[in-house]
Amino acid sequence: MIKDITIGQYIPGDSFVHRLDPRLKIIISLIYIIDLFIVNNFKGYIFIVVFTLLSILISKIKFRYIYKGLKPILILIIITAILNLFLTRGDTLIFQWKFLTIYKEGVNLAAFMVLRLIFLIIGTSLLTLTTSPIELTDGIENLLNPLKKIGVPSHELAMMMTIALRFIPTLMDETDKIMKAQMARGADFESGNLIHRAKNLIPLLVPLFISSFRRADELAMAMEARCYRGGEGRTRMRKLKLTNIDYIAFVVVIILVALSIWSRMWS
């Protein structure tokens, strides 16, 4: 399951989505997330599903990567669905057994929350799968540049966020290696109750923290050896510039938002 986490991974390609400006992809991702909460009926989610499937097909990202990204949050999705299903009260009772009751409103809310979680993960995974860490850094920094006027270090913030995303897969691989090493020494991470499993994670967390700090120190030394001194005075080999395909993608997203608002108003 640890290796199934796809957020932070990048798959090189030359698709329409890969060629989009990273600034635009970040903005589109934010609009997409907002749009997920604008939609409040199943008719609106038809547009979300169509847009998401088309984005995956155009990006030429294999569906197994999308599926792998959803597997780690499967338990969270199930828990969210159960809580909303049984704890939401309404006017239309569907099922009742002792203290357990299910209302139509609870079924709808559970379905909406599950769909939002699923498409939220798909959208964020698609952003990192089609955008290299360097492009992501440049895009975030460029979007944060206006905040420099109030003293916000946009380059440093962008660098930290990108490094954090980039090292998610690395830390997951490191966790998997440590788990296998501890299991070879007799550690058991699967049996027992929840508290017992949490205690068994201590032999895993300590070496993981040590490894993380060691990697951070090695990265800092490598950056210093390459004379990295922050964003002041730095130049770039490739300047970010919006093209026709960027404008087309933005228009498509605006149409998606308009359709979502229409479905909400006329539901």
pTM: 0.76
* Mean of all residue pLDDT scores within the chain: 82
One-letter identity of residue 117: L
How far out from the chain centre does Cα 107 lie?
Answer: 26
Q: Which residues, in sequence order, are CB contacts of 130 under 8 Å at separation 6+?
A: 10, 11, 13, 15, 17, 18, 20, 25, 59, 61
* Interatomic CA distance for residues 207 and 175, integer angstroms: 9
DSSP 39: -
* pLDDT tens-digit series, residues 61-98: 888 888 877 877 888 888 888 888 888 887 778 877 87
Beta bridge partners of 101: 96
How does strand 93-97 pair with strand 100-103? antiparallel
What pLDDT shows up at residue 183? 79
* Interatomic CA distance for residues 130 and 9, integer angstroms: 9
